[in-house]
Structure 1
Amino acid sequence: MSLRGVLLALLVLANVASALLLVRDRHEHRQAFIALNRLERARDELNIEYGRLQLEQATWAESTRVDQVARQRLGMLFPRGEDTVVLRR
């Protein structure tokens, strides 16, 4: 084989190797994009759940709810006027 034939064979081989590497990189890119979409969906679902939990926490901590539980379950009452003592210095 002549030098020209060897050079042509090397160029064809380099071209095929380049094409195979391009296909591999495209495949890895698709896989990474699919994983990214999956993680973004999970993040969105977690944000929705976090919002629900914040709303639930606000509901449970509402002053009327706390007052209701204190009265019903614990038997607590607001002190009467005569039970209140004011200390002055």
Structure 2
Amino acid sequence: MTRLNLLLLIIAAGCALATVTAQHTARKLFQALEAEQDHARQLDVEFGQLQLELSTWATPPRIEKIAREKLKMSTPEPARTIVAAGVAP
């Protein structure tokens, strides 16, 4: 009977240690998951900011201003403009 009690005590202690280890691992994984979700939210915010910046830099008035000032481009005169008629398929 004493051997049986000792065996059951060892099994119970092993199960308790396994439970503690499993809970610790679960907590560490949950912390890692939350950290990755926070990082994903930060990347979403940065992506939105970059899209806004891109739309600001690509506005037609800004492109026209750069073309006129830096590239010294101008609108062609109507007499020099040729309009090509499209051909229907």
Shorter-chain TM-score: what band? 0.7 to 0.9
Q: TM-score, normalised by structure 1?
A: 0.88
What count of residue pairs does the alignment treat as equivalent?
Answer: 86
Is 1:81 aligned to residue 72 of structure 2?
no
Structure 1 position 52, deviation (Å): 0.6
Could you tell me which of 66, 69, 78 is aligned with 1:69? 66
User: Which segments of 5 or more consecutive residues in structure 1 lack a partner in the other structure?
Assistant: none
Structure 1 position 57, deviation (Å): 0.8
5 Å matches for 1:27-38? 27-38=24-35
Change (3 A) 1:87 1:42: closer
- Alpha-carbon RMSD: 1.6
User: Which segments of 5 or more consecutive residues in structure 2 lack a partner in the other structure?
Assistant: none
Q: TM-score, normalised by structure 2?
A: 0.88
Structure 1 position 23, deviation (Å): 0.5
Structure 1 position 5, deviation (Å): 1.3
Counterpart in the other structure of 1:10: 7
Distance in 2, matches of 1:12 and 1:46, equals 51
Counterpart in the other structure of 1:24: 21
Deviations 1:15-63 (A, max 9, x none): 0100011001111111111111111111111110011111111111111
Is 1:59 aligned to residue 59 of structure 2?
no
Structure 1 position 87, deviation (Å): 5.2
**Displaced runs of 4 or more, over 2 A:** 85-88
